[in-house]
Amino acid sequence: MKVSINWLQELVDLKISLDELINLLPLRSISIKEVTDDLFELDMKGYNRADLLSLRGVAREVAAITNSQIKFSEEKNEFPDLPKVEVVIDNEKLCPVYCVAKIENLKVEHSNGTWVKKLFDSGIRSINNAADVTNLIMLEYGQPMHAFDAKKVRGSVRVRMAEKREKINTLDGKIRELSGEDLLIADESVPIGIAGVMGGKDSEVSESTTSIFLEAAIFDPVSIRKTAQRHNLPSEASKRFQYGLTKTNLLQALSAAIRMYEGLGGKLTAITLIGDLEDQPKIIELTREKVNSLIGINIPKNQIEKSLQSLGCHLRGVRTNLWEVEIPYWRLDINTEEDLIEEVARMYGYENIPAKALPDFKLTKFQDPLIYNLKKTLADLGLTEVQTYSFYSSKTINDLRLTIYDLVKIANPISTETEYMRDNLWPNLLEVAAKNVKNGFKDVAIFEIGKVYEPPQKETYRLSIALMNGTDNPLQELNQIFQQLLKNIKISLGAGVIHPPGEQQQFHPTRFTDNMAEVHPRIVNKFGIDNRVAVLEVEIDTLIRKEPFLF
């Protein structure tokens, strides 16, 4: 989520500098991915904070953290009594809320400079004023929307499942074959959009458009995630559907969008609101005793109340040191007393909570002595253990010219970066070495012990070592390390997995020996490494103990 400091200041009375804010946010568990002159990007990995996928959500958070005032109020969700747009919902479980407004008398043209700048700063390309409204609303409110050219929609709007092998021409110009598990927006004859993922080309808004159907909906998060993965169509909209949406926010966003279209000269002529449109209040009991027990210090009662109220919670005292806390509709992530206590600790400041030593405990015996002793010996020889993901990145596949048909493909990957399981360890070690080089390290000596995966269903444990020492002969030093390893743990070696370079073009044609080789200069250069790198890889199953370990 990219945040423009200028746009943020339209929503919150920020009294500290960008630098001060950037330093403060991580202390309140808000991770920052990147910072530029007047922008910062939140790192949403591992977060379940749907509210932080909107500028208003970020503004609320910043106001709470900096004791500032937000500049917007909660709008009343009132809509005029107008004719209805005919809508049919086939599956209410996958589409519990569906709203559509018809806007007429529009003049579609280029957006003004302010809108274009806001979109550009957020990483979104301006299309035209009619389409830009939906993206601006999504960024500020977190509610995805879509505009269809009303004249291109035949008959009623229908939310239905796709027929198997049904096709749609999406906005990116690609003809996509659909699955029977994909949820569609359709008219009486053809699909006009993949619900929550991407609209259809045939109903696209253009400069000739004079009336639109504006869609705002809540779709099932799991269904949207699976469809986006199935068609390799991750988008800002689908991400927000997956995190979860609220009905209150949807109606506020819809009302704001209608006002923006009216500001462009448009007129609301019909509107349909389908589904239960009220968020049910979420009330959680909280005791001061449990707050102080879990956090480990005595936090004053007024501090607890102030922290939660700053986040939008409403508190009602039931009795001494017991509250009923009503959670604000935008905080879908707060569901238990423990969640509330985490918020109290976060707002109090983890840096203000004294660190305490852990109680004494006994280590359990390591279950696999071979693995343990391998790791200990390698560490004693000066190597650092790393653990990498069990899949290849698309960059690694391209740079190494790997044949994907020789790899195990994941049926439902979480992204295009996690489609194929690794069949060797050393390529990922090369990525680690590259990151170390980027951070200024000239020498790298690392190892990994882990599983590799070969089709159709073979899993094998391997040991891999990567060495980059800035010398002209890292292979020689790697061989010395490995021979010392064999000597120390008294094992003999079976067949390895690194073969002569003629069979594996990733390695130097002349610099190789049994089970190890130098990575080809063409490869290391693609990874941004100037030095020579030697790698080794063997199957753990081929390491046969000859006599007891000696330590």
Q: What's the whole-number mean pLDDT along residues 211-239?
A: 92
Co-location of 57 and 39 in the same domain: yes
Peptide bond into 521 cis (omega under 30): no
pLDDT at 543: 54
What percentage of the chain has pLDDT greater than the value 70?
94
Please state whether the predicted TM-score (pTM) of the whole model is above 0.85: no
pLDDT digits (tens, 9 = 90+) for 414-446: 776 778 889 889 899 999 998 888 888 888 999
Co-location of 476 and 398 in the same domain: yes
Answer whether residue 315 shows pLDDT above 90: yes
Q: How confident is the model at residue 540 (pLDDT cuts 50, 70, 90)?
A: confident
Residue 32 covered by a domain: yes
User: How many CB atoms are closer than 10 A to CB 334?
Assistant: 20
Residue 340 covered by a domain: yes
Q: What's the whole-number mean pLDDT along residues 492-515?
A: 67
Output the domain CATH number for residue 473: 3.30.930.10
At which residue do the structure tokens 């086939």 appear? 90
Co-location of 392 and 426 in the same domain: yes
State how far the Cα of 110 lies from the Cα of 129, in Å rounded to an integer. Answer: 6
Co-location of 185 and 322 in the same domain: no
Co-location of 14 and 96 in the same domain: no
User: Of the candidates 351, 378, 400, which is a domain's last residue?
Assistant: 351
Q: How confident is the model at residue 548 (pLDDT cuts 50, 70, 90)?
A: very low
Residue 526 covered by a domain: yes
Whether the CB-CB separation of 108 and 212 falls below 8 Å is answered with no
Co-location of 234 and 337 in the same domain: no
Of 333, 337, 310, the residue nearest 324 (C-alpha): 337
Helix (H) or strand (E) holding 182: none
State how far the Cα of 507 lies from the Cα of 449, in Å rounded to an integer. Answer: 21
State how far the Cα of 529 lies from the Cα of 434, in Å rounded to an integer. Answer: 6
At which residue do the structure tokens 């909570």 appear? 353
User: Can you give the residue range of the structural domain that contains 293?
Assistant: 282-351
pLDDT at 307: 94
Q: How many domains is the chain partitioned into structurally?
A: 4
Residue 446 covered by a domain: yes
Q: What's the whole-number mean pLDDT along residues 456-470?
A: 85
Task: Select the more confidently predicted residue: 363 or 369.
Answer: 369
User: How many CB atoms are closer than 10 A to CB 383?
Assistant: 19
Q: What's the whole-number mean pLDDT along residues 507-526?
A: 84
pLDDT digits (tens, 9 = 90+) for 179-198: 999 999 999 989 999 999 99
**Both tokens assigned to 495:** 């067949």
Co-location of 140 and 261 in the same domain: yes
- The one-letter amino acid code at 198 reads M
User: Of the candidates 248, 274, 300, which is a domain's last residue?
Assistant: 274
pLDDT digits (tens, 9 = 90+) for 146-160: 999 999 999 999 999
Co-location of 231 and 98 in the same domain: yes
Task: Select the more confidently predicted residue: 98 or 359.
Answer: 98
Co-location of 441 and 378 in the same domain: yes
From 52-61, 112-121, 430-439, the region with the lowest mean pLDDT: 430-439
Output the domain CATH number for residue 248: 3.50.40.10
Co-location of 214 and 324 in the same domain: no
Q: How confident is the model at residue 370 (pLDDT cuts 50, 70, 90)?
A: confident
Residue 80 covered by a domain: no
User: Of the candidates 224, 253, 274, which is a domain's last residue?
Assistant: 274
Q: How confident is the model at residue 76 (pLDDT cuts 50, 70, 90)?
A: confident
Helix (H) or strand (E) holding 382: none
What average pLDDT does the chain have? 88
Residue 336 covered by a domain: yes
How far from 445 is each of 135, 340, 442, 506, 538, CA to CA, in Å? 47, 44, 10, 20, 17
Co-location of 300 and 211 in the same domain: no
Output the domain CATH number for residue 289: 3.30.56.10
Which residues contact residue 121 at a Cβ distance below 8 angstroms, ignoring those fewer than 6 apart?
2, 4, 6, 7, 38, 39
Task: Select the more confidently predicted residue: 191 or 407.
Answer: 191
Q: What's the whole-number mean pLDDT along residues 50-62?
A: 95
Co-location of 303 and 186 in the same domain: no
pLDDT at 429: 93
Whether the CB-CB separation of 11 and 55 falls below 8 Å is answered with yes
Residue 77 covered by a domain: no
